[in-house]
Amino acid sequence: MNRNRFAIITALIAGGLILAAGRQALAGGDARRGADVFAEECGDCHSKIPGRSKKGPTLTSVVGRKAGSVADFSGYSEAMKDSGIVWTVEKIDAYIAAPRKVVPGGKMKYDGLADAAARADVIAYVMTLQ
Amino acid sequence: MTLINLPRGGSERHWARALLVVLASLTLAATFSAPAGAVPSYARQTGSECAACHVGSFGPQLTPYGIAFKVGGYTDTDGQGTKVPLSAMAVANWTHTAKNLPEAPEHFSDNNNAALQEASLFLAGRLTEHVGSFVQATYSGVDRKTFLDQLDVRYARTLAIGEQQGVVGLSINNNPTLTDPFNTLAQWRFPYTASDFGFGTGPAPLVESLGGSVIGVNAYTLWASNFYAEVGAYRALSSGSVNWMNTGQVATQTVDPGKFSGVGTYWRLAYYKDMKRDNFNVGVFGFNAGVQSAEDPSSTDRYQDIGIDASYQFLGTREHIFTANASYVWERQKLDYSHDVLGAADNAKDRLNTFRLATSYTYEQTWGATLGLFNSRGTADSGLYGSVSYNDRPNTAGYILQADWTPWGKEGSWGAPWANARVGLQYTGYTRYNGGSHYIDDVNGSDRKASDNNTTMLFIWLAI
């Protein structure tokens, strides 16, 4: 019992730290601008409705999630599932900058977003999808 | 000269009859003018809303996402199990012309007609990992016939060569421009629906006139996301095949369906750039065919079509969308059969040039407004056009205005992805018809103004 309680507290603290780190890293990101970036760059394949997957998996609570792990989404490539990635803000930033470089053989048909400010904005927006 | 877009009523029908005699060698087969492109089974397959693939949440104007899906062979999926690749579609309309039609179409009046213009069933979607289909069977409520409308079965896969990769594919299809991923060529350009009681958009080159009367095999690629190339070879279907599929109004015992001398060749090159916020395409295309009388293949009418096209879409956040699609086609006709043998054409060589432009604005993927322009100009030929044209030319020009409302088809829409509808009002105005502002109504033997053909259509378009 005590062991379970310790595990839960540890998980909560870890989750909180990840979230806090993410928010801090996104200090320059503007979620309102990010909503527009999301609509222009991501919305065809990723839903803005929390928990909903489309061609791409839901991005709700993506920070801290293991890559390729959304249970009810079966569209992952083997490369994504085997990547061993746990999504951090930095990793998401690198991925949407150059998807095929971070996950060679991945399925996401996206050439990448070169604008670092736009990436920060869209990550800030994705963080609001709770 | 087009047959695919010939209306069912009005003086042009008689023009068509004359041309069926004059251009017997060209009457491979006529198909019904039918929209094609509202296919919710694709949305069910991909898990995406209609608005992801289509401007205005309804077919057929494709976004880059839709272009990728089509080029990919209609096979992309969200991986959420197997989906049944079936859809249905219906278009009903009410049509008013400025002056009554020269004669009432069978089963209808000479004006203010309401009709279930078409009801279609689609086999549309992923069949295997690399094979997909877009097959449409249609019942025409105006012609009271059921026919195989569109056929496009594709094999597609990605291919990598060194650092570069692209999609390569093969298509078996029944219409040279059906395979194109842009909305500039005949099959997929504005107007996306038009009344069977209207007067069309003037004569069209051969490449735009073959739907349903040919069968072809095309190889294509979209390489490095930017370069689209396609080549195809077409054979004319036999009159027996056309009759079996019931696609030919002219495929009867009394009309020669015609055939190709050898194969008709189609080619297409385009540069396409998707910047997400906006995208554009510039391209060239062509079609060459020799058309013979099936009953008298002693000589051939040769058609050479070369066209240029361009498109631009500003998509932005999808709140305000602007699009522009344009094409210009030059056709050279060498009428050895029609002139030398049949004696129906005055000239051994004729030309036909056609220009088409459509610009649209869509608000919130729901409210749409489109302006279209059409202009066809041809050589004066009293044998071909003298019975309907004062100056012996086929020249026809005008504009199309359309306003429409598409309530569903967005993410989170009611009934998605099953409920899809578009309601629209379309007005077609003619500044020239059969050569000028006035032409000869050969049904009644009287003068008729081009503007008498101005057409107002109210339509509802449903898809499930």
- For chain B, the domains span 11-463
**Backbone φ, ψ for residue A126 (5° rounding):** -60, -35
Report the relative pairing of strands B420-432 and B455-463 from DSSP bridges: antiparallel
pLDDT higher than threshold 90 for residue B433: yes
pLDDT of residue B30: 39
Grouping H, G, I as helix, E, B as strand and the rest as coil, residue B368 is: strand
CA distance B377 to B372: 17
The pLDDT assigned to A123 comes to 96
Least confident of A39-43, A107-111, B319-323, B447-451: A107-111
Choose from B16-25, B42-51, B209-218, B354-363 the range with maximum mean pLDDT.
Answer: B354-363
SS3 content of chain A, % helix, strand, coil (to 5): 50, 0, 50
The pLDDT mean for chain A works out to 84
Q: What is the pTM of this model?
A: 0.88
Task: Count Cβ–Cβ pairs < 8 Å, chain A vs chain B.
Answer: 54
Q: Is B129 an 8 Å CB contact of chain A? A: no
pLDDT at B5: 30
For B4-21, how does the pLDDT look when each residue is reduced to its tens digit (9 = 90+)?
232 333 333 333 333 333
Q: Which of A3-12, B155-164, B375-384, B440-449 has the lowest mean pLDDT?
A: A3-12
Q: Which residue of A has its CA nearest to B63?
A: A44
State the pLDDT at residue A87: 95
pLDDT for A116 beyond 60: yes
B281 has a pLDDT exceeding 90? yes
Distance spanning both ends of chain A, measured CA to CA: 30
Alpha carbon distance B432, B199 (integer Å): 12
How confident is the model over B164-183, as a mean pLDDT?
96
Nearest CA in chain B to A48: B411
Q: Taking CA atoms, what residue in B is nearest to A36?
A: B317
Contact between B85 and B126 under an 8 Å Cβ cutoff? The reply is: yes
* Mean pLDDT for chain B overall: 89
B315 contacts chain A (CB < 8 A): yes
What's the confidence (pLDDT) of residue B440?
A: 97
**For position B258, what pLDDT does the model report?**
77
List domains and CATH numbers for chain A.
2-126 (1.10.760.10)
**Section B201-216 average pLDDT:** 92
DSSP for B270-331? EEEEE-SSEEEEEEEEEEEEEEE-SS-TTS-EEEEEEEEEEEEEE-TTSSEEEEEEEEEEEE
Strand partners, B284: B269, B308
pLDDT at B274: 95
Segment B388-431, tens digit of pLDDT: 999 999 999 999 999 999 999 998 899 888 899 999 999 999 99
* pLDDT category of residue B37 using cuts at 50, 70 and 90: low
For A13-26, write each residue's pLDDT tens digit: 555 544 444 444 45
What is chain B's length? 464
Query: What's the pLDDT band for A7 if we cut at 50, 70, 90?
Result: low
Q: Is residue B136 within 8 Å of residue B122, measured between CB atoms?
A: yes
Arithmetic mean of pLDDT, A25-32: 75
Which residues in chain A are contacts of B79 at CB distance < 8 A? 73-76
Weakest mean pLDDT among A8-12, A124-128, B205-209, B277-281: A8-12
Contact A47 B76 (CB under 8 A): no
A76 contacts in chain B (CB < 8 Å)? 79
The third-level CATH classification (topology) of the domain covering B11-463 is: Porin (2.40.160)
Amino acid A8: pLDDT: 56
pLDDT tens by residue, B109-156: 999 999 999 999 999 999 999 999 999 999 999 989 888 899 999 999
pLDDT at residue B50 greater than cutoff 90: yes
Q: Give the pLDDT of residue B391.
A: 98
Nearest neighbour of A36 by CB, restricted to B77, B79, B317: B317
Nearest neighbour of B411 by CB, restricted to A35, A47, A111: A47
Alpha-carbon torsion angle A82, A85, A86, A89, nearest 10: -150
Which residue has tokens 């107002």?
Answer: B456
Within 30-69 of A, beta carbons closer than 8 Å to B belong to 35-36, 39-41, 43-45, 47-49, 53-55
* ipTM for this model: 0.79
pLDDT at B79: 78
